[in-house]
Copies of this chain bind each other. A is one copy, B any other.
Amino acid sequence: MTTVTTRSVAYPADGLTMVGHLALPAGADRRPAVLIGPEGTGLNDFQRGRADALADMGYVAFAFDIHGGRWFTDPEEMMARVMPLLADPDRMREIGHAALDVLRAEPRADPGRIAVIGYGTGGAIGLELGRDGADLRAIGTVNGLTTGRPGEAARIRCPVWAGVGSEDPIMPPAQRDAFAAEILAAGVDWRLVVYGGALHAFHHPPVNQRVRPGVGHHPVHARRAWSDVVGLLDECLPVAK
């Protein structure tokens, strides 16, 4: 790894004090920048590590918080917070915009070159930023293939890349089809990768928490999904080498 500098950033959103993780590449110049949205369980060291990895590639990266510093180990507690959030595009947008504002305020980040990648709930938030017309170069969403309010997908102005496990019961085929139909009708440039045999949250290594049925790690597809996300960034937000 080259020299990556990291720091925690506290900022208000959704009535909470969020604590995100900012990672800066070596150097002093402005760089393309990436927001990283965590799963419904919240921001943890694994997603913080993704910010560090992207910074090592030359991006300014900000892994944002969705729960005011909390990371849920209990699925019921997590669901009690996440389900109302997923049902409220305005709250998701507020959380997303607050994170986007942190990134835009960072002098190392080029505010005209920002992409968002997200996982599950974090992916849904990325999509809502797009549906709100945010100036983004790419939206990548793993396991978060959520539909939005009618007509608003037409405000997405960047390529959308989506990935999902074929056996994900939390993001089932009917939901994938509804998502695809929405963004197709909106004229968005999109792709969907179905990872054969993978469950929900397949990209995430096992952690010390209870998991819901239908959740499971798939190391091979996890590597591929990360490579696919990096490929999306490389296509839409290249780092000058």
User: Are A197 and B192 within 8 A (Cβ)?
Assistant: no
**With a CB–CB cut-off of 8 A, which chain B residues contact A184?**
166-167, 196-197
Interface string of A168-202 (1 = CB under 8 A from B): 00000100010010011000111111111100000
- A235–B220 Cα distance when bound, in Å, is 11
**With a CB–CB cut-off of 8 A, which chain B residues contact A192?**
166, 193-194, 196
Using known A-B contacts A227-B231, A231-B227, A231-B231, determine if residue A196 contacts B220 with beta carbons closer than 8 Å.
Answer: no
Interface residues in A183-241 by Cβ distance below 8 A to B read 183-184, 188-197, 220-221, 224, 227, 231, 235
In the complex, how many angstroms separate the beta carbon of A147 from the nearest chain B beta carbon?
15
**With a CB–CB cut-off of 8 A, which chain B residues contact A220?**
189
- A220–B177 Cα distance when bound, in Å, is 22
Closest B-chain residue to A220, C-beta based? B189
User: Are A193 and B196 within 8 A (Cβ)?
Assistant: no
**With a CB–CB cut-off of 8 A, which chain B residues contact A194?**
180, 191-194
Q: How many residues of A contact B (CB 8 A)?
A: 24
**With a CB–CB cut-off of 8 A, which chain B residues contact A183?**
196
- Tallying the copies of this chain within the complex gives 2
In the complex, how many angstroms separate the beta carbon of A6 from the nearest chain B beta carbon?
30
**With a CB–CB cut-off of 8 A, which chain B residues contact A191?**
193-196, 221, 224
A193 interface neighbour in B189, B193, B221, Cβ under 8 Å: B193
**With a CB–CB cut-off of 8 A, which chain B residues contact A167?**
184
In the complex, how many angstroms separate the beta carbon of A120 from the nearest chain B beta carbon?
20
Interface string of A37-73 (1 = CB under 8 A from B): 0000000000000000000000000000000000000
In the complex, how many angstroms separate the beta carbon of A226 from the nearest chain B beta carbon?
12
**With a CB–CB cut-off of 8 A, which chain B residues contact A173?**
177
Q: Which residues of A contact B (CB under 8 A)?
A: 160, 166-167, 173, 177, 180, 183-184, 188-197, 220-221, 224, 227, 231, 235
Q: List 27 A-B contacts (CB under 8 A).
A: A166-B180, A166-B184, A166-B192, A167-B184, A173-B177, A180-B194, A180-B196, A183-B196, A184-B196, A184-B197, A188-B196, A189-B196, A189-B197, A189-B220, A190-B196, A191-B193, A191-B194, A191-B195, A191-B196, A191-B221, A191-B224, A192-B194, A192-B196, A193-B194, A194-B194, A224-B235, A227-B231
